[in-house]
Amino acid sequence: MRRLIPLKFALAATTLVALLAFLAGTYSAPSPATAQAPIRWKVQTGWPPTSIVQDAAKLLVEMLEKNTGGRLKIELLPGGAIVPVFEIQDAVNRGVLDAGHTTPGYIIGKLQAFIPLTHGPLFGMDFIDYFGWYWEGGGHELLNEAYQKQLKMNVVTFQVHPEGPQAMGWFKKEIRSFADIKGLKYRIYGIGAEAYGKLGISAVTIPGGEIVPALERGVIDGAEWINCYDDRILGLDKVAKFHYAPGMHEPVTVGEFIINKNKYDALPADIKEIIKSTVQAAYWMHFVKFQEKTAKACGELIAQGIKVIKTTDELNKAFLKVYDEISTGYAAKDPFYKKVVDSQQKYAGLIVPYRLSYWPPYQFIGEHYWKEKIWLK
């Protein structure tokens, strides 16, 4: 026999169901119209639109938008769209741009410590070692100290895109001996400009987009840019027929994603963490794409008749010697510069000897399999 539910309990249950239905309707998930609007940033790069480094910026933007679930939306603009490429950091500092994808190497005139912070011989470190020093050896903190304390700029920055190692570059005439470089007008930036200057070259620093016209007009005799892939897109193979590699001026070169600090501080904590993890991942994703495109482009340049010539050991050794002398001089005059190179030397002193001692030699194994395909003899 079915038991009857007392009337008061039936009324209570009915009331509860009605109340829950009301609450469910009142506190349902927000509709798209009431959802929080995405954060929108305007970001300019320091690169030409077709550059492989512009591709690195696009990759970073795509990863950031995906990893934030669309909560961060970025309008990406190429070099020169709003401000000249050498003024990006200042524009981010003033809030003209929300962020920039560029390199501190473009503003070493403001702070010489940007040289070791972004490129250079680095005591034998490569991109793997640099990444370790940057995230585990204090590099990230030092780069932000450079901007925030040394230059008093209202920014937060992350190293994000590796380029290189870079070739010595392109020349309109063949360099047969060390003496042939003396007096040449050569586009380069950073400490490399000063080092080659001491070796007799007249160094000139101009943006990437101005290199080819300068070579065409004879304003310069040679130039370094990035690599076979990017150099070809820029058109360097159309105005110079002699390509020299390797170079010692930028065995490691890393650029930045620099953000206005007010914009960064206003971000939710989880998006700040997403930015950090995304720039770390983008570093490696760009590097593997960079390597593949560069390798293919170098082969294509050779096939089209460009003379790819090995830079002499004499010149590379002379460059390293002069570079070290210049860097030591900077460190003697600038405590912060010394702080940076001391940090790098300490980390390199641990890692580089270990790798040289313990890792299989890249060239030894590579030549075992591919000796006949090496195109720089």
The answer to whether residue 1 scores a pLDDT higher than 50 is no
Reading phi first (left if > 0) and then psi (alpha if -120 to 50, else beta), residue 279 is in alpha
Beta-carbon contacts of residue 263 (< 8 Å; ≥ 6 apart): 41, 95, 98, 99
Q: What is the pLDDT at residue 377?
A: 66
Q: What is the pLDDT at residue 56?
A: 94
Distance CA 155, CA 88 (A): 12
Query: Packing angle between helix 269-303 and helix 52-67, nearest 10 degrees?
Result: 150
Q: Are strands 202-204 and 185-187 parallel, antiparallel or unpaired?
A: parallel
Where do the structural domains in the chain lie, given as residue ranges? Answer: 39-165+252-291
Beta-carbon contacts of residue 114 (< 8 Å; ≥ 6 apart): 104, 105, 107, 108, 146
For residues 144-163, give the mean pLDDT: 96
Q: What is the pLDDT at residue 23?
A: 38
Beta-carbon contacts of residue 13 (< 8 Å; ≥ 6 apart): none
- Segment among 38-42, 88-92, 196-200 with least mean pLDDT: 196-200
The model's pTM: 0.84
Which is higher by pLDDT, 270 or 208? Answer: 270
Per the document, the length of the chain is: 377
For residues 284-291, give the mean pLDDT: 93
The tokens describing 287, both together, are 């590097």
CB 121 within 8 A of CB 248: yes
Helix (H, G, I), strand (E, B) or coil at 213: helix
CATH topology for the 39-165+252-291 domain = D-Maltodextrin-Binding Protein; domain 2 (3.40.190)
Confidence of residue 119 (pLDDT cuts 50, 70, 90): confident
Alpha carbon distances (Å) from 184 to 64, 181, 307, 340, 355: 43, 6, 19, 32, 37
Q: Which helix (H) or strand (E) holds 156?
A: strand 155-163
Q: Indicate the average pLDDT of the chain.
A: 88
The tokens describing 314, both together, are 């004499």
The answer to whether residue 21 scores a pLDDT higher than 70 is no
The tokens describing 156, both together, are 């937060």
Alpha carbon distances (Å) from 24 to 10, 36, 276, 327: 21, 20, 38, 68
Alpha carbon distances (Å) from 132 to 108, 159, 346, 348: 23, 12, 12, 10
Beta bridge partners of 253: 119, 163
Alpha carbon distances (Å) from 270 to 29, 52, 82, 111: 21, 30, 30, 32
Q: What is the pLDDT at residue 323?
A: 94
- Residue by residue, DSSP assigns 279-338 as HHHHHHHHHHHHHHHHHHHHHHHHHTT-EEEEPPHHHHHHHHHHHHHHHHHHHHH-HHHH
For residues 21-28, give the mean pLDDT: 38
Percentage, residues of the chain above pLDDT 70: 90
- How crowded is residue 124: how many other Cβ atoms within 10 Å of its Cβ? 15
